[in-house]
Amino acid sequence: GDSVTQMEGPVTLSEEAFLTINCTYTATGYPSLFWYVQYPGEGLQLLLKATKADDKGSNKGFEATYRKETTSFHLEKGSVQVSDSAVYFCALRVTLGGGNKLTFGTGTQLKVEL
């Protein structure tokens, strides 16, 4: 079945450090890929997405490139801020007759310190 594997956290960084959170996937067909962010006490928000191979999603300084050859969608940010502290979820969606089911990774907690 479809699955998403993320690096385990927590990841602790100093402000302005470079961030990478690894994500790899297994899927039948051609999935769309997503990163969601969950701030403390809140629901999930879509951070960025990519719908086909070699697409790059970007938002708020975060980027991720859909790599079909390595089945990966790693999240990166050049300079993190304290306000980026949150849990980040990688997810995929495979076309299934119009449905919109998301398959999530386990989440990676990011802590950014001054």
Query: Phi first, then psi: what are they for 86, rounded to 5°?
Result: -175, 180
Residue 81 CB contacts under 8 Å (≥ 6 apart), including other chains: 15, 16, 112
Which residue stretch of 10-18, 19-27, 56-64, 95-103 sits at the interface with another protein (rule: CB under 8 A)?
Answer: 95-103
> Taking CA 80 as the corner, what is the angle to CA 8 and CA 69, rounded to the nearest 5 degrees?
55
Among 89, 92, 110, 112, indicate the residue that binds another protein (CB under 8 A). Answer: 89
Contact status: 26 vs another protein (CB under 8 A)? no
Cα 105 to Cα 4: distance, rounded to the nearest angstrom:
5
Which residue stretch of 15-23, 35-43, 57-65, 72-80 sits at the interface with another protein (rule: CB under 8 A)?
Answer: 35-43
Contact status: 12 vs another protein (CB under 8 A)? no
Q: Which residues bind another protein (CB under 8 A)?
A: 4, 36, 42-46, 49, 51, 89, 93, 95, 98-102, 104-107
